[in-house]
Structure 1
């Protein structure tokens, strides 16, 4: 299978590192014209340079913006009024005791993880519908189903985007615009590695040992028995963005290593 996106435009939110970066890189390698987004121009520029170093012919541009606000979303829309592929990857997470999560933190997680995707999808999906083709994706998580006791607020947001994804797919039925959720498990993203590195230092063990312990103790149902790589998640996303995935919509596409212990 050869995925060719050379005539497509893509926007990947939160794409200066981790899963978002790998998705942006994968879409660019498939020929898409990709917009990288991040909160600072420095990080956006670094991401573009890294992809260009590996693929000098990559078609890339960037917008530095805080998409966790309504104003930030409007800034991106003004800079890129149309796109063919929208990857709602932006998200934050942080372990925190439920009883210590205040209202402001609940609101922050909802605005960044959920409303950024709602606002951008509401705009860009209309253009896709009018043009008769498009791909919208929401980055969910196995935490949408296995709500983590240490991150209830995060799990809530991932359940929300999965619901929105399914509902929007129904809204766009028969339009050649597909909408799917990508559902990673624990992944070796920048944020997860930072968390694991700190835990390893505190425990006095290596990062590799802490990774293995994390999966064993926190995701014992994992079939692969390890963290996924951002590139493995990106491969699913790039496929779902392709013309070949035209019959895949309204789905939660798992890249979680078998952590969720169901077949459905």
Structure 2
């Protein structure tokens, strides 16, 4: 399958590293013009330079904006301009017991994980509809279906993304614009690697092996019995953003290694 996104302009939020960067790289390799985003000027500038080096000839720009508030979302929309592809990847996560999670944490997760996508979609979708073509993707999580007991606040925000994605798909029905969610499972992102670093240093095992042990202990329903790579998640996203995926909309597409024990 030859995915060609030449002439398409794509915005990927939180794309200076991890899954977001791999998505941006995959879209650039398919020919799209990329707008990267992160919270700091330094990380954004470094990501732009890295992507241009890894995908020679790619057209890449970057915008530093904190999407946990309306001002940051407005600044990103203003700087990015009209786009054909929007990947809502911005999000935060962390373990915390429900009874110790205060309103401030709930507000923070809702603002970052949910409202960032609400604001950007509200601003950028109408032009896609008018043009008759567009792709919006929310990077949710298997935690949106399989709510983790130690991250209920996170799981709820990821479930909300699924509802938002499905609702928007129905809202723009028949327009030529598709809206989908992609649900990664345990993935060896920069954040996960950092979380496992102490165990890597203690055991001397490679991070991939430590990560596989983590999956077997904490996500025993995993069928692949390992973490996914960020590239494996990006492959699904790039496909969903392609012209070939024109009949896929309103879907929750899992790249979870089979963690969610469901045949539907």
| TM-score of the two chains, using structure 2 as the length reference | 0.97
5+ residue gaps in structure 1? none
Q: Determine the structure 2 residue equivalent to 1:254.
A: 254
Q: Distance in 2 between matches of 1:211 and 1:183?
A: 19
* Partner SS for 1:182: strand
The alpha carbon displacement at 1:205 in A equals 5.5
Q: CA offset at residue 192 of structure 1?
A: 1.1
Please give the residue correspondences for 1:171-190 in structure 2 after superposition, counting only pairs within 5 Å.
171-190=171-190
Supply the distance in 1 between the matched residues of 2:22 and 2:259 (Cα, whole angstroms): 22
Bigger mean CA deviation after superposition, 48-57 or 31-40: 48-57
- Distance, in Å, in 1 between the alignment partners of 2:157 and 2:199 is 25
SS of the aligned residue for 1:149 comes to: coil
- 1:75-130 CA distance string (max 9 Å, x none): 01111231100000001001111111111011001000000000000111111001
Shift of 1:232: 0.3
2:43 counterpart residue number = 43
**Number of residue pairs matched?**
263
Distance 1:23 1:54 in 2: 13
Moved over 4 A (4+): none
Which whole-Å CA distance do the structure 1 matches of 2:246 and 2:208 have between them?
Answer: 39
Partners of 2:175 and 2:204 lie apart in 1 by 53
Q: Which moved more, 1:190-199 or 1:163-172?
A: 190-199
1:210 to partner: Cα distance? 2.6
Q: Distance in 2 between matches of 1:214 and 1:176?
A: 41
**The 10-residue stretch of structure 1 (73-82 or 35-44) with the greater mean CA deviation from structure 2:** 73-82
Uncovered stretches (5+) of structure 2, i.e. residues with no partner: none
Q: What corresponds to 1:240 in structure 2?
A: 240
SS where residue 148 of structure 2 aligns? Answer: coil
SS at match of 1:261: coil
TM-score after normalising by structure 1: 0.97
SS at 1:61 equivalent: strand
* Residue 57 of structure 2: aligned partner: 57
- Residues 144-175 of structure 1 deviation map (CA, whole Å, 9 limit, x = unaligned): 01100111111011000011000100001000
Residue 215 of structure 1: CA displacement? 0.5
- Residues 114 and 160, structure 2, Cα contact 8 Å, conserved in 1: yes
Give the C-alpha shift of residue 52 in structure 1.
1.3
Match runs of 1:78-93 below 5 Å: 78-93=78-93
Q: Match of 2:178, SS?
A: strand
> Is 1:73 matched with 2:64?
no
